[in-house]
Structure 1
């Protein structure tokens, strides 16, 4: 496993590309690193990990972990590793197996988050607006479906 690079599942590659702002898209994120960190956080929040399966070799190509470090996100990969394994030794940078495990954990959480985003963004034209709505609903909680509409609240 290429532990020094974060891979993207092939079936999520188009989504990741569309989430990054470019001349062709109006994505809400500036870099692939930000997309993957957001997706991993979403996966963690939902306590969901999904194995990658087949990964993309082209755009987005595997992201060097140095890119995460330069933006200050390398700690997230390490914290997820500690949290998941409950073993501080996973931070050992000299052990390739520990590096591989940390990378795998992060990739699986990010893949789960991308899966959630894929479902939430289906049919959406403006990803930024839909993500904002999604986050607002997560923060405020989903309204109860059993609750009846009450006009008295407008009086």
Structure 2
């Protein structure tokens, strides 16, 4: 495959940097790598069913990340692409399919970063705010699933 890279929207670069730990001993930031930030953001964007294309991307700090860094998250990237396109051909082993998967991943990540940006606005401790944000989301999901639904009695 070509030298594929995952890009970060220029307007989200500072947020991404603020979420990544400065070193292994830094326990004040929620993520150890830029890849972890983007995977979390993409999952959040997908959960909210939001994709946001972006025009200009960050060229320095953080610069585009080689896709090889995301290989351990390859299943997540592929799953998001299949869900978005509803077409298994996006899983093909060629440059065009890989570019498509990366673009979809970038758009979900950009949307997730937008959601995180508004949730973290004014926050000093991003880690604490993200944990609060996640627990609130879990509670909302739990309430929604506990509501009475007649469809549960139907045989499919």
> What CA distance in whole angstroms lies between the structure 1 residues aligned with 2:51 and 2:20?
23
TM-score, normalised on structure 1?
Answer: 0.84
Q: 1:123 to 1:25 in 2, by over 3 A?
A: farther
Matches of residues 64-83 of structure 1 in structure 2 within 5 Å?
Answer: 64-69=66-71, 72-83=72-83
1:98-128 Cα deviation digits (max 9, x unpaired)? 1111111000000000000000000000000
Give the drift of 1:3.
6.9
Give the drift of 1:25.
8.8
2:40 alignment partner in structure 1:
38
Matches of residues 39-118 of structure 1 in structure 2 within 5 Å?
Answer: 39-69=41-71, 72-94=72-94, 96-118=95-117
> What CA distance in whole angstroms lies between the structure 2 residues aligned with 1:43 and 1:122?
17
SS of the aligned residue for 1:39 comes to: helix
1:147 alignment partner in structure 2:
none
> What CA distance in whole angstroms lies between the structure 1 residues aligned with 2:86 and 2:44?
20
Count of matched residue pairs: 139
TM-score, normalised on structure 2?
Answer: 0.83
> What CA distance in whole angstroms lies between the structure 1 residues aligned with 2:137 and 2:51?
19
Runs of 4+ with >2 A deviation: 23-26
Structure 1: gaps (5+ residues): 145-155
> What CA distance in whole angstroms lies between the structure 1 residues aligned with 2:3 and 2:48?
25
> What CA distance in whole angstroms lies between the structure 1 residues aligned with 2:98 and 2:3?
6
1:132 equivalent in alignment to 2:131: yes
> What CA distance in whole angstroms lies between the structure 2 residues aligned with 1:74 and 1:46?
21
Higher share of residues assigned helix: 2
